[in-house]
Structure 1
Amino acid sequence: MERPVSTLPKAHLHLHFTGSMRPATLQEMAAKHRIRLPETLREHHLLRLTPDERGWFRFQRLYDAARACVRDEEDMRRLVLEAAQDDAAEGSRWLEMQVDPTSYAPHVGGLTPALEIVLDAAREASQTTGCQVAIVVAASRMRHPLDARILARLAARYAGEGPGTVVGFGLSNDERRGDTEDFAPAFRIARNAGLASLPHSGELRGPDHVSLTLDTLHPDRLGHGVRAAENQEVLGRLVDAGVALEVCPASNVALGVYPTPAEVPLRSLIDSGARLALGADDPLLFGPRLAAQYETAREVHGLDDAALRHLAASSIEASRAPDDVKKGLLAEVEAWGPEQD
C-alpha cells in the first residue's frame, strides 16, 4: 500500500517569499491595507500562461500586486511562519526560502532591517513548526547588476549554515532580461562568503543559457534547469559538475514551458543521473504546493516509492542543511516505505 507523500521527509529548495503566501492570507493582507486585488488574485484563478514576454508580464504584474500587500513587519513574519507550517505539514523538514529584501525595505526601514526580520522569523518558525528554515537572498535580473552586488554583500554579512541564516545567493526573474555575465561579480562576493550559488536558469531559456550560467556564475544548483534535457552535452556538464536542479513541474506548465505535466522531462533528467530537488516555486499563483509535486512524480511519471525516496534524498543532499541534519533526515528517508499491516 502506497504511503502518502506528505509523510516522506524531504527538503524544499525552491520557494519564493511572496509566492509562498496562502490565498486566504493574501485576501486578509489586502483588506488590512485597503488594497484592491486584480480579479485573478481575488478569485484565486491559477495561471496558465503563454511562454513569451506577454505571459511573463502577466505573471509579474500579478506577483507585484501580491507583493504590494506585504507592507509591515507583521506581514513579513506571518509569511515565513505560514510557509514553514505548510511545508511541515507536507513532510518538508528543511526549507530554503528565497527573498529579495529590496521590495520590503521601504516599509521597515531599509534592506538590513528587512533581511533581519526575515531571518528572525525563520529562527522562530524553525523552533515551532517542525520545519527548519534558512534563507536565500536573491537579486533580480530586472535591476542593475550593481544592486545585485549590494545584496550579495548584505547576504554575506549573515552567512551561516543553520536555521535563520543566509545559506545562498540567487538570481531570479525573467531569464531573457539582463546579461547573465554582468552578475558574475555579485556571485563572486557571495561565493567568497561561503554562500551557495543558486541562479535561475534553463526554464524560459534553453540549454545555451544553462551553459552560459555554468561558465559565468558557477552554480551549485540551478533554479529550474529543466531545459538542459534538450541537449545531452549540456546535461552531461551538469551531471559531471554535480549541479543540482530545482525542478518545479507546476510552474513549468503554468508558464507554458511544457503543455502538460507529462511533458516535463522528469524521467529523462533522473535517468541522466542529474541531482534533482522538487520545488513549488510560487504556489500562490501556480496552485500545487510541495507534496503535489511528488504526487505528480508518482501519478504522472510513474515513480514508485523507491524512486520517490531517491528524489527526497537528493533534495536533502543538495541542500545547505548542516551535516548532522542531513544525516538524520537521510536516515528517515531510508526508513520510509509501504505501510505495514
Structure 2
Amino acid sequence: MRDLALLPKAHLHLHFTGSMRVGTLVDLAEKYRVKLPGALTDGDPLHLPPTERGWFRFQRLYDAARKCVRSEDDMRRIVDEAAADDAAEGSGRLEIQVDPTSYAPFTGGITPAVEIVIDAARRASADHGIEVAVIVAASRMKHPLDARTLARLAARYAGDGVGDVIGFGLSNDERRGNTSGFARAFEIARRAGLAAVPHGGELLGPEHIDVVLRDLAPDRLGHGVRAAENERLLGEIVDRDIALEVCPASNVSLGVYHDAADVPLRRLTDAGARVALGADDPLLFGSRLLAQYETARTVHGFSDAELAGLARSSIRASRASSSTKEHLLGGVDAWLEGPDPGSDAGQGMFGGNMDESVTVV
C-alpha cells in the first residue's frame, strides 16, 4: 500500500484552538498556571453521547483549552504548528477556521486578532511549504448581528492569496440558534467573493440540512454526513456540487455514530458527493488528517485509487489558486501511478516521479 502521508491533499475543516498539539496546550497551561481537565491531556479521544449534555462537556473542554491562548505569540505558535503538522501529513493546502472574538480581549479587538492569524498563516506557508488560508467563523451561540460584523470583517480581508480570508463559516451546536437568522451574514460574505462554509448535518439530520442549503447557500458543508439519510437531499447536494467536509473522528467522538464503520463515507462517495476529509478538532478527537485517510482505507476498504479520489475532491473543493490545484492534482496522479512512494527515499510530499521543475506552493 502506498504511503498516505505522501498523498497530496487539502485540509478544509480544522478549527484554530482545536488544532493544538497536546504538548503545546500543556506548555501554555503551565505558563498561565491553568489547571487542565484530564480529558485534554490523557491522549484518549472523546466518546460522548449525542445529547446536549454531551455537547456541553465537549464545549467545556474546548473552552478550557481556549483559556490557555492568551497572547499574540500563542496564536502564532498554533498556526505555525498546525501548518507544520499538516505539511508532514501531505497537505499542500490548509484552510484554518477561527472565530476572532475569542482572542480579541488580549489582542485589542477582533480586527487585530484576524490580522495576527493572517500574518501567521503567511509566515507558516513560507516556512513549511504549504499554502495556509483563513476562514472567519461566527458562532450559532451568539446573535446574528455579531455574525454580520464578522462577515464584514472577513470581507475586508477577502482574497485568493496565501494567508487571505477565503471563507465565512458558522460553527458550534447546530441545535442552537436560528439558522435562517444568519442568512444576511452569509449574503455579506458571498458578495465579497468568500466561500460559504457553515456547519450542518452532524448533530441534526436532513431537515436541518435543507434549511442550511436554502438559507445559507453553502459552497461547502461542514460535516453534512447525515445527508446520507435522505436520497433526495443527497442528490441535491451532488447536483449543486456542494462539497462535504467529512470528519469521521468527530462523528464518533460526539456520538453521532457508534464507531468509524458506521460513518456513511462509502454511501456519500458512491452517490457522487464531493467529500473532503477533515480532522475538525484533533486536540479533542485524538487524530489528525492522516488518520482520517487511514480510516477510509482500513475501516471502509477504500483502495488507493479511491483514496486518491478523496484527495482530488479536497483539492478541487479548496479555494486554492488554479496553479496550486494543478500542482497538487499532478502530485496525486504521480502518487497513484508511480511505485510505492514509501520505498523511494528521494520522494517529496507529492510522491511518484514528479518533474523536478514542479515546486510545492
Provide Cα deviations, 1:142-174, integer angstroms capped at 9, x if missing partner.
000000000000000000112110000000000
Tell me the distance in 2 between the aligned counterparts of 1:294 and 1:37: 30
Tell me the distance in 2 between the aligned counterparts of 1:254 and 1:42: 16
**What one-letter code is carried by the residue in structure 2 that aligns with 1:241?**
R
| Residue 3 of structure 1, CA deviation | 1.2
Aligned position for 1:289 = 288
Tell me the distance in 2 between the aligned counterparts of 1:4 and 1:332: 13
Are 1:331 and 2:335 an aligned pair? Answer: no
Q: Secondary structure at the match of 1:35?
A: coil
Aligned position for 1:263 = 262
Are 1:165 and 2:164 an aligned pair? Answer: yes
- Aligned residues with identical type, % of pairs: 68
Are 1:156 and 2:155 an aligned pair? Answer: yes
Aligned position for 1:53 = 52
**What one-letter code is carried by the residue in structure 2 that aligns with 1:53?**
E
| Residue 38 of structure 1, CA deviation | 1.4
State how 1:62-77 maps to structure 2 within 5 Å: 62-77=61-76
The CA RMSD over aligned residues, in Å, is: 0.9
State how 1:192-211 maps to structure 2 within 5 Å: 192-211=191-210
Q: Secondary structure at the match of 1:48?
A: coil
Are 1:213 and 2:226 an aligned pair? Answer: no
Aligned position for 2:175 = 176
Aligned position for 1:147 = 146
Aligned position for 2:99 = 100
Are 2:80 and 2:121, in contact at CA under 8 Å, matched by a contact in 1? Answer: yes
Tell me the distance in 1 between the aligned counterparts of 2:224 and 2:313: 15
Tell me the distance in 2 between the aligned counterparts of 1:111 and 1:89: 31
Are 2:3 and 2:340, in contact at CA under 8 Å, matched by a contact in 1? Answer: no
Across the two proteins, how many residue pairs are aligned to each other? 340
Tell me the distance in 2 between the aligned counterparts of 1:168 and 1:15: 13
Tell me the distance in 1 between the aligned counterparts of 2:292 and 2:17: 19
Tell me the distance in 1 between the aligned counterparts of 2:185 and 2:114: 17
State how 1:298-317 maps to structure 2 within 5 Å: 298-317=297-316
**What one-letter code is carried by the residue in structure 1 that aligns with 2:10?**
A
Provide Cα deviations, 1:276-332, integer angstroms capped at 9, x if missing partner.
000000000001100000000000000011000100000000000011111111111
Tell me the distance in 2 between the aligned counterparts of 1:119 and 1:137: 10
Aligned position for 1:222 = 221
Tell me the distance in 1 between the aligned counterparts of 2:82 and 2:41: 20
- Runs of 4+ more than 3 Å apart: none
Tell me the distance in 2 between the aligned counterparts of 1:77 and 1:221: 27
Tell me the distance in 2 between the aligned counterparts of 1:79 and 1:135: 13
TM-score, normalised by the number of residues in structure 1: 0.99
Tell me the distance in 2 between the aligned counterparts of 1:289 and 1:27: 18
* Structure 1 unmatched runs, 5+: none
Q: Secondary structure at the match of 2:92?
A: strand
Tell me the distance in 1 between the aligned counterparts of 2:137 and 2:151: 8
Aligned position for 1:30 = 29
Are 1:81 and 2:85 an aligned pair? Answer: no
